[in-house]
Amino acid sequence: MAKVLIVDDDSQFRRVLRIALSARGHQVREAENGQEALDEMRRDAADIVLLDWRMPVMDGEHACRALRAGSVLPVIVVAAADCEQEAFAAGASAFFKKPVDARILLACVDACTGTANEPAIRK
């Protein structure tokens, strides 16, 4: 399964995503803002990033541009803001508006990481 980095200043939203992604066998890490995300990626690169747009310290736009600089890393923006055009201009691979259907978001993560055909739970 994939290493997923969730970047969002809403701890409850991160918790819900962490539970859903972990249940599918993904390794999940979290960051509260774009700067923490970049620090996490320097320590141990993720396979995919789920990124909020409006956050303190470093917003999603700057984080997305930095994450995608010279990289094909999938970045899925999941935001309450109407920023779809800006997200794609910054290099986002996909965009979901909050509230998001978790099943569709999980399917997108699986498709972007090539884990779509793997069993959800390994024994």
Considering only the C-alpha atoms of the chain, give the largest distance between any 2 of them, rounded to a whole number of Å.
Answer: 42
Listing DSSP states for the chain in one string gives --EEEEE-S-HHHHHHHHHHHHHTT-EEEEESSHHHHHHHHHHS--SEEEE-SS-SSS-HHHHHHHHHTT----EEEEESSS-HHHHHHTT-SEEEESS--HHHHHHHHHHHHT-TTS-SS--
Is 123's pLDDT higher than 70? no
What domains, with CATH codes, occur in the chain? 3-113 (3.40.50.2300)
For 20-73, how does the pLDDT look when each residue is reduced to its tens digit (9 = 90+)?
999 999 999 999 999 999 999 999 999 999 999 999 999 999 999 999 997 899
